[in-house]
Structure 1
Amino acid sequence: MWDDLPTEISNNILHRLPVKTLIKCTILSKSFLSLITSHDFISTQIAQHTNSHLLLRYFTNDQQELFHFEPDDETFSGFQTQGLVNPFPYIPGIWCTVAGCVNGVICLVDDCGHEGTLTILWNPSIRKFVEVPEPIMVYETYGGYESASGFGFDSISDDYKVVRVVRLLDLGPKFGGTQVEVFSLKSGCWRIIGVGPSYSIKRRSSEYIPCFLNGSVYWVGSRFVCPNNENVIVKFDMSTETFEIIQLPGVVKVSESKYTPILDFYVQECKGKLALVNRNYKDEIKSCSVWVMKEYGIVESWTKIFDFNIDNLSPCGMPRAFGFRKNGEVIMVKGVRRMYTEGEDNVLVSIDQVTHSETTFRKISADRTSFYLSTYEESMVLFKEGKGIEQQTSQLKSVPPKKRRFDGEKKSRRKRKN
């Protein structure tokens, strides 16, 4: 009966099936396997997605990394599932940041206080992953450095890319400054594309994870311009592989001096627009604000859409807005738990931007700085390129944790002193 259906109808039916069902269909026949794993089918399936999920990632008190996937619709009642444990046991003790989540693929990078040389592309809906080769710029050849990574999709070349901005700490005409390298999933290799932005990019915390929106990666950036710190948003276009600087609203653009915190904000996506979350605990009235750029590239279009008074809380106990639902509600984590303190819970809440009404989801005993939220769409991406989670080799599992980048920085400083 299936063979009697017109191709257009049969394809339309398959495109509506969940990924788990599609995987089962691939073992029914060679024709199903060929169709469902074809590039055109996967691209069409992504384009026709209507049911989105929320991805929540955090580290528990016992350093277990959990991922929750919940439908983002009217039935959403919080992150009630048990959670999926990070399936990569060969990187114990290394805090990986999420460099991005695009079309069902999550990019994990060990740039949170480490070298940033281990990168994994992981599609949890099909249980497959790709371990990205070691980048070009490493300590052995370039000396001490700091790196920040981003992940996204290049719609022009139809390619998934990882961009790595590396601030080299060794002085000299050959190595000094910032360099940028890009990994292409299609080519399977890295290439250095040139000099990076003159702004330092914040890293080492999930609060400053980059945002991928409309073909570009966005980071928080800053630099000291006497006598103040200048804060900006750094944009990298995945297709043209060029940088652009986006100015912030004047109220959050410049810190008072080089001695005040220079990065009290981070970037997010809110209903398809670039959003800025600003935590202000320096003024008389302490607050957590959300700004949205209504018209892309127009600085004057920055509009404050949410302002939460946190005047009664200390800086370490500040609520943190770390993501948005499809309907625009702000997901926040509230609690007074300090980093590395055991036994206290954080409370996840969703707040309506207009009425400020609050819905409490659940308490989670976790490191408050590790919460990450993103939209997630199931897909068949990496089905051909990736290896199954159960196919992890003994060689992968035996890879020792990377050297801490700080060791390289110390060596580099010694060289300069000598």
Structure 2
Amino acid sequence: MSSLPATSGLISVLGFGYDNNKKDHRVVKISYSRFDNNKGFNPLVEVYSVWERIWKTIPADYLADNSISSVSFSHCFLNGVIHWLAFETGPFNYVAKWVLLFNVVEETFQKMELPEAIVKMLTTCTGTPDLFEYKTKLSLLHCEDFECHMSTFAKCQIWVKEEEESCWCMILNITVDDDHYLLSQVAYLDKDGKLFGFYRKSDRVMVLYDVSKRQFIELGFHYSYDASSKFASFTDSLVLLDQDTTDLTKMMHSKCTSTHLQLEMN
């Protein structure tokens, strides 16, 4: 596989998607200046095709004065579109105000404004927002840690994008009780509404929160601190990146597809 293009002095954000028309996995790399005063400068946007095994640069005029939220760099691939949280470039302006969309098939960008209620929440609260797929819909998870009377609590909100334009609904707003602790930096929401990232304080057993049942469920293992820990989904699939393109023909047109891609970065 080709190496990622060199982007010295830039902050790079990756997105992974799948072109269902061409049966091709794609990697999208967006690179920004490390400085806050880069307003007016377009980022560098490059797309890698696993099928063609090449990087290509695409126009980024639409992204002028916009940056991906560097708090989490999270993204969500849904219905052929990669989604990132984004904000307007400028000094001390790091609050996400919209979702940046990249259509993998058309290779075009769009912008979706977040409702005022979500922007206000992100402005006034600490914590890391993340985008996930929840029951085939785009969702935003926001977790906030806080202390009260020598105890650590956490609040979690889940917002879901409805079919109507600019319509988001809050489906969960809980304050985690004093018996559990939320690892906000590793929190993860799966497609079925299972919220991961909690452990029980008494014995440090990891638990998940079932959004539909409104209850905690044990996972059967204990929490051990690791700054690099992160929950993620797993798709049983395979893409061999070290084979010739001709050897990939049957595989790329088979029924086996994946939304996950393992990169070899040289």
Q: TM-score, normalised by structure 2?
A: 0.71
Are 1:242 and 2:101 an aligned pair? no
2:222 is aligned, of 350, 363, 377, to 363
Unaligned 5+ residue runs, structure 2? 248-263
Are 1:277 and 2:141 an aligned pair? yes
The Cα of 1:160 is off from its aligned counterpart by 1.1
The Cα of 1:276 is off from its aligned counterpart by 0.8
Aligned position for 2:7: 138
Aligned position for 2:207: 349
The Cα of 1:223 is off from its aligned counterpart by 2.9
Q: Which structure's residues are more often helix, by fraction?
A: 1
Q: CA, structure 1 residues 226+289, in 2 after alignment: closer, same or farther (shift >3 Å)?
A: same
Q: Which structure's residues are more often strand, by fraction?
A: 2
Q: How many residues align?
A: 239
Aligned position for 1:252: 118
Are 1:177 and 2:42 an aligned pair? yes
Aligned position for 2:132: 268
Q: Is the 8 A contact 2:186 2:230 kept in 1?
A: no
Q: Report the secondary structure of 2:3's partner residue.
A: coil
Q: TM-score, normalised by structure 1?
A: 0.48
Task: Map Cα deviations across residues 217-252 of structure 1 (whole Å, 9 max, x no partner).
Answer: 112222367996343222111111111222224222
Q: Is the 8 A contact 1:235 1:245 kept in 2?
A: yes
Q: CA, structure 1 residues 137+319, in 2 after alignment: closer, same or farther (shift >3 Å)?
A: closer
CA–CA distance in 2 between the matches of 1:250 and 1:369? 33
> Which protein has greater RCO, CA pairs closer than 8 Å, 6+ apart?
1
CA–CA distance in 2 between the matches of 1:244 and 1:185? 24
Q: CA, structure 1 residues 201+172, in 2 after alignment: closer, same or farther (shift >3 Å)?
A: closer
CA–CA distance in 2 between the matches of 1:290 and 1:381? 36
Task: Map Cα deviations across residues 110-148 of structure 1 (whole Å, 9 max, x no partner).
Answer: xxxxxxxxxxxxxxxxxxxxxx31233432xxxx10000
Are 1:288 and 2:146 an aligned pair? no
Q: CA, structure 1 residues 309+137, in 2 after alignment: closer, same or farther (shift >3 Å)?
A: same
1:166 is aligned, of 11, 15, 31, to 31
Residue type of the alignment partner of 1:135: L
Aligned position for 2:194: 330
CA–CA distance in 1 between the matches of 2:34 and 2:210? 44
CA–CA distance in 2 between the matches of 1:204 and 1:169? 14
Are 1:306 and 2:172 an aligned pair? yes
Q: Is the 8 A contact 1:323 1:374 kept in 2?
A: no
Q: CA, structure 1 residues 138+383, in 2 after alignment: closer, same or farther (shift >3 Å)?
A: closer
Residue type of the alignment partner of 1:179: L
Aligned position for 1:202: 69
CA–CA distance in 1 between the matches of 2:37 and 2:165? 38
Q: CA, structure 1 residues 358+219, in 2 after alignment: closer, same or farther (shift >3 Å)?
A: same
Unaligned 5+ residue runs, structure 1? 1-131, 338-344, 388-398, 403-418
Alignment of 1:19-418 (within 5 A): 132-139=1-8, 144-169=9-34, 176-195=41-60, 197=63, 198-203=65-70, 208-223=73-88, 229-254=95-120, 255-256=122-123, 261=126, 264-281=128-145, 287-295=155-163, 298-300=165-167, 302-310=168-176, 318=184, 321-324=187-190, 328-335=192-199, 347-361=205-219, 362-367=221-226, 370-379=229-238, 384-385=243-244
Q: Is the 8 A contact 2:146 2:154 kept in 1?
A: yes
CA–CA distance in 2 between the matches of 1:180 and 1:330? 34
CA–CA distance in 2 between the matches of 1:133 and 1:365? 36
CA–CA distance in 2 between the matches of 1:304 and 1:171? 32
Q: CA, structure 1 residues 312+226, in 2 after alignment: closer, same or farther (shift >3 Å)?
A: farther
Q: Is the 8 A contact 1:346 1:366 kept in 2?
A: no
Q: Which has the larger radius of gyration?
A: 1
Q: CA, structure 1 residues 360+385, in 2 after alignment: closer, same or farther (shift >3 Å)?
A: farther
